[in-house]
């Protein structure tokens, strides 16, 4: 390993890495990090490498810390200086970013593909990053094969930090534009991978729109694409999704029936009052409505209100 020197470096003598995979920085998160550094100091030095040009150093990793220190108005930052060529700098930067838990899945997919393109095997990427090899292959396959519209649907899903929990975002639920979590998008991409390019693009787009519209879970999305494939792709993506929704609703009705018979008389009367007030068609629908309302209130599932 190249020799590393720990020292204070002038903030203005450092430039960001051109290997950075993060597409944007959360200003609020940078503010919070700056407050933490102000209170407790910089816990971990950044890593920079010497370069030729107007500025003598380039960040290898630690750009968030560098930005936070800038916000504090500090003139210097604690840094490890290490001589690295372009390839080593790129691999080091990418591995550090991939190891972090706050990269959005589509950013992670791009980073993993760049590691593979830099010459690392799937096994080596897994060893260096701690990610499961099958997940690495799925993400890289998605980055290489998914249609632009499906990629945009994934990016839209993760527009805010809440998207990292794989929970649909309230900010996009009312949008006519599709928003799909990564795992569901991978299921769509893998099911359509062997189609001709134009048909693949259109089919992925139609699945993304339908999955987003009906707020399908991963299991429901997998059921929809399985149904579509088992029909020899004769049914439309929209119909496959509607069949998955129909099965979900049937499961909800069965669960509502089980819940209903366990209620005492007073609770049953209360449910009938809610049914009348909300103009719901049946007791069964009212139980489903109340259960969903309770789960939304506890933030267990995304709100449809």
pLDDT digits over 96-114, tens only?
A: 878 776 688 998 999 999 9
Give the residues across from 252 on adjacent strands: none
190 or 100, greater pLDDT: 190
Please report which residue ranges of 100-196 form alpha helices under DSSP H. 105-117, 122-129, 133-145, 148-157, 170-173, 182-192
Query: How confident is the model over 247-274, as a mean pLDDT?
Result: 78
Question: Looking at residue 45, what is its pLDDT?
Answer: 94
Residue with tokens 């494939």: 229
Q: Kindly tell me if the per-residue pLDDT of 172 is higher than 50.
A: no
pLDDT at 189 over 50: yes
pTM: 0.72
Cα Rg, the chain, nearest whole Å: 25
Q: What is the pLDDT of residues 65-87, one digit of tens each?
A: 999 999 999 999 999 999 998 88
Can you give the pLDDT at residue 31?
93
CA–CA separation, 111 and 135 (whole Å): 13
Longest dimension (CA), the chain: 80
Q: Please give the Cα distance from 149 to 94 (Å, whole number).
A: 26
Q: Determine the Cα–Cα distance for residues 86 and 88; give it in Å rounded to an integer.
A: 6
pLDDT at 280: 84
Q: Helix 105-117 crosses helix 86-99 at what angle (to 10 degrees)? A: 150
Q: What is the pLDDT of residues 119-151, one digit of tens each?
A: 999 999 999 888 999 999 999 999 999 999 999
| Rounded-to-integer distance, Cα 244 and Cα 231, Å | 14
Residue 270 pLDDT exceeds 90:
no
User: Which of 15-19, 205-209, 290-294 is least confident?
Assistant: 290-294
């Amino acid at each position: 390993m190249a020799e590393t020197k720990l020292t204070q470096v002038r903030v203005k003598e450092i430039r960001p890495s051109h290997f950075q995979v993060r597409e944007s920085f959360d200003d609020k998160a940078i503010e919070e990090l700056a407050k933490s550094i102000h209170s407790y100091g910089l816990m971990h030095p950044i890593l920079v490498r010497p370069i030729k040009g107007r500025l003598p150093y380039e960040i290898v990793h630690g750009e968030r810390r560098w930005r936070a220190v800038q916000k504090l108005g500090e003139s210097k930052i604690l840094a490890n200086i290490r001589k690295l060529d372009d390839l080593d700098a790129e691999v080091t930067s990418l591995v550090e970013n991939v190891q972090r838990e706050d990269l959005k899945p589509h950013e992670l997919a791009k980073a993993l593909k760049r590691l593979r393109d830099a010459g690392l095997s799937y096994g080596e990427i897994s060893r260096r990053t701690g990610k499961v090899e099958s997940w690495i292959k799925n993400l890289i396959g998605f980055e290489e094969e998914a249609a632009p519209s499906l990629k945009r649907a994934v990016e839209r899903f993760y527009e805010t930090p809440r998207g990292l929990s794989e929970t649909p975002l309230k900010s996009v639920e009312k949008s006519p534009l599709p928003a799909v979590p990564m795992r569901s998008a991978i299921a769509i991409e893998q099911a359509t991978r062997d189609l001709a390019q134009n048909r693949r693009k259109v089919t992925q787009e139609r699945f993304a729109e339908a999955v987003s519209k009906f707020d399908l879970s991963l299991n429901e999305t997998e059921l929809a694409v399985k149904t579509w494939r088992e029909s020899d792709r004769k049914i439309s993506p929209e119909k496959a999704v509607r069949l998955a929704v129909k099965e979900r609703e049937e499961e909800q009705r069965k669960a509502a029936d089980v819940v209903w018979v366990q209620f005492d008389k007073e609770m049953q009367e209360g449910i009938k009052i809610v049914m009348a007030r909300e103009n719901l068609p049946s007791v069964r629908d009212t139980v489903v409505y109340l259960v969903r309302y309770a789960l939304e209130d506890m933030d267990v599932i995304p709100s449809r209100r």
